Amino acid sequence: MDLTYNSNHIEGSRLSHDQTRYIYETNTIGVSDQAINVDDIVETTNHFRCIDLVIDDAKNLLSEKMIKELHLILKNGTQDSRKEWFAVGDYKKVPNEVGGHDTALPEEVPEKMKNLLARYRKLNEKTLDDILDFHHEFESIHPFQDGNGRVGRLILFKECLKYDIIPFIIDEDLKWYYYRGLSEWNRERGYLLDTCLTAQDKFKKYLDYFRIQHRD
């Protein structure tokens, strides 16, 4: 619930944490005195399905097929999915940008994604630094028309599980540090790394509460 709430909230969802919890636990939205964007509800339920996929396939190798499947699940049934130019479950057709920065052009994306995954697979045991390097490059390419941040953070979570690294959730308190870390990654990796280590410390509290053993 926390992963879905925070990842969607970073991207502009107006659902509260309680509303997110209601959707997960009861498949209802709960009472609200504010108008709610239907896509926020659809993408929340879809994000829960994405997490199921991430957990089920945690130990499998990361692939383009898996990445595209996450995007397909996330955006399925949204208004975007009804737009002819919006490629749900496939790479973007129209140029986009992130944080005022240019991203890969649509015609560049397939090759850049193949190269990114090829470089990543050549690494033996991935470290947190390796996974974050992949995340930064993925977000720089911004391969999908929308949903890149959420898909990217789902990949982060999955790869941490695969390589026995404590996963983490970027919450509201860490959002701007996370953005700064991505922006400054090529110059100073410590910003993003420290932010994620802080998020890891929060996740350890969940593990401790449920008496799940972990490596510090």
Question: Is there a contact between 161 and 193 (Cβ–Cβ < 8 Å)?
Answer: no
User: How far is CA 94 from each of CA 41, 47, 74, 98, 133, rounded to the nearest angstrom?
Assistant: 26, 24, 19, 13, 25
Q: Does 148 count as an annotated binding residue?
A: yes
Q: Does 153 count as an annotated binding residue?
A: yes
Q: Does 152 count as an annotated binding residue?
A: yes
Q: Does 76 count as an annotated binding residue?
A: no
Question: Is there a contact between 77 and 42 (Cβ–Cβ < 8 Å)?
Answer: yes
Q: Does 5 count as an annotated binding residue?
A: no
DSSP per-residue letters across the chain: -HHHHHHHHHTT----HHHHHHHHHHS-----SS---HHHHHHHHHHHHHHHHHHHTTTSPP-HHHHHHHHHHHHTTSSGGG-TT--TTS--SS--EETTEE---GGGHHHHHHHHHHHHHH-SS--HHHHHHHHHHHHHH--SSS-HHHHHHHHHHHHHHHTT-------GGGHHHHHHHHHHTTT-THHHHHHHHHHHHHHHHHHHHTT-----
9 annotated active-site: no
Question: Of 17, 71, 142, 214, which one is the catalytic site residue?
Answer: 142
Q: Does 101 count as an annotated binding residue?
A: yes
Q: Does 206 count as an annotated binding residue?
A: no
Q: Does 150 count as an annotated binding residue?
A: yes
Q: Does 149 count as an annotated binding residue?
A: yes
**CA-based radius of gyration for the chain:** 17
Q: Does 177 count as an annotated binding residue?
A: no
Q: Does 147 count as an annotated binding residue?
A: yes
Q: Does 187 count as an annotated binding residue?
A: no
Q: Does 194 count as an annotated binding residue?
A: no
Active site residues: 142
State the binding site for ATP: 98-101, 146-153, 178-179, 186
State the binding site: 98-101, 146-153, 178-179, 186
